[in-house]
Amino acid sequence: MHPPRAAAAGRTASPTTARLINDRLALQLLQSEGPLTAGQLKSLTGLSRPTVADLVERLQEAGLITVVGESGAQRRGPNARLYGIVADRAHLVGLDLRTHSVTVAVADLLGRVRAEHTVLIDPDGARDTAVATALAAVDKALAAAGAHAPHTIAVGAPGLVDPATGRFGGTDWIPSWHVGLVGGLRARTGVPVLLENEVNLAAIAEQRDGAAHDRDTFVLLWLGQGTGAAVVLDGTLRRGASGGTGEIGFLPVPGTGALPSASGCDGGFHSLAGSAAICALAAEHGMPYGAAVGPNGVHELSSGTGVHEPSSDTGAPTEASPTEASPTEAPPAESLVRSAVAAGDAGAAFLDALAARIALGVAAVCAVLDPGCVVLGGEIGRGGGAALADRVAGHLARLSPLRTDVRAGAVGGRAVLLGAVLAARDAAQNELFGAAGPGVSPRP
């Protein structure tokens, strides 16, 4: 026997394994395409009619699919039955933890959000009180969604997450109630609780439903109160040996007059592109601190800051965290960037200077990873939009010989929350669909 053919014969799937693979394929099609008839499953999978009939029966008995209607108003009978995934087979919970708040979303097995709830947290109050408040928010969201208990929970939070354990890698810079809440969820629910860095979750959302939907390899550069990055290579999120992939705030760059240290990223890229640095840069260009764009594009002064996006991956104390205010109010740096975009030529010099700073960090990322695509996320990336992304691309082209597409993030302010829901959905489907084929086991 020819060696390659011998090797292929050794990998031939057993009848049981083949059934599992076929079942998984059918479930993935029902997830992506929506309800399908047995005939449509046959056409899309290339399987025989008897094989499709068998897998439909198996999946119905497992409670994973059910008849949800018929195709065509004039058609009747078994061939017209539309099969769909039982969305209420499992309920998923996604959490977005901030210093001063927690937002909870409850979704069904298809990832459709059924309920969402946000509560403010006093970070200076008692840890137990904060944890109790957050747990009550989870209960309220579950009740609003009509769910008795979650199947899987995914939590997005600032800070290092140890890839080996799925737990916080260091707690010096993390609000103590974050640690207490994750522990409380695990102890109280007894279900899988996945902990992930918030910027990584935002990258998942951008890859599935946002600016990187057509890319298997890209970097999300998070520009918010602090700076961070998430790296996706060949479709896989890369966390690094200690969970520190994307700690771009610590990147030494020219123009800061100092170097970062192990205890803080002042002097690193954060000092060029963090929120405080952007406000200072705007002041240098004559833009008043707190300038904002009103509903009709009129420049106003904003007296507060709004619910903000993730800071750096570590959550290091790079600057005082603003207190969340009305969701209609934007953080100062975002307001300034939006004002510059709306101002046209009057804001061009500020945007060019900001783009030149951002391009230094992007160039370093490209020199090491050559991702081909960089997405500008966070409140600054969102506020700057294409106007900022195009300027960064121009500066980058002069710094790097590597062709790199620079895009503005498209998911918006709920990127972390949506990424958490997607992570929970993937984990739940891997478990529930696991009997129907191989899947990637979620981290603890």
Give the pLDDT mean for 362-368: 97
Whole-prediction pTM value?
0.84
Beta strands in 256-295 (DSSP E): 291-293
Q: What is the CA radius of gyration of the chain?
A: 24
Per the model's pLDDT, the better-predicted residue between 215 and 322 turns out to be: 215
What pLDDT digit, counting tens, does each position of 268-295 carry? 999 999 999 999 999 999 986 544 444 3
- Per-residue pLDDT at 82: 95
Mean pLDDT check: name the lowest of 6-20, 125-139, 290-304: 290-304
Q: How many CB atoms lie within 10 A of CB 327?
A: 10
- pLDDT higher than threshold 60 for residue 264: yes
What confidence tier does 72 reach under pLDDT thresholds 50, 70, 90? low
Is residue 121 within 8 A of residue 178, CB to CB? The reply is no
Angle at the Cα of 201 (from 198 to 204), degrees rounded to 5?
160
Average pLDDT, the chain: 86
9-53: pLDDT as tens digits = 445 668 888 888 899 899 999 999 999 999 999 999 999 999 999
Give 329 or 331, the one with higher predicted confidence: 331
Q: How far apart are CA 29 and CA 19, in angstroms?
A: 15
Q: What would the two tokens of residue 267 be? A: 């002097």
- Quick: pLDDT tens for 183-215: 999 999 889 999 999 999 999 999 999 999 999
Neighbouring-strand partners of residue 82? 69
User: What is the distance, to the nearest Å, from the Cα of residue 366 to the centroid of all Cα atoms in its chain?
Assistant: 21
Q: Give the bridge partners for 120, in sequence order.
A: 101
CA 241 to CA 245: how far, in whole Å? 8
Report pLDDT digits (tens) over 382-415. Answer: 999 999 999 999 999 999 999 999 999 999 889 9
Torsion of CA 55, 56, 62, 67, to 10 degrees: 170
Confidence of residue 228 (pLDDT cuts 50, 70, 90): very high
Least confident of 127-141, 196-210, 316-330, 345-359: 316-330
Percentage, residues of the chain above pLDDT 70: 83
- pLDDT-derived band of residue 429, with 50, 70 and 90 as boundaries? very high
pLDDT, residue 8, reads 38
- Asked if residue 322 has pLDDT above 70, the reply is no
Instruction: Give the mean model confidence (pLDDT) for residues 219-225.
Output: 95
Q: Report the pLDDT value the prediction gives residue 19, as an integer from 0 to 100.
A: 85
Average pLDDT estimate for 175-183: 95
Per-residue model confidence (pLDDT) at position 73? 55
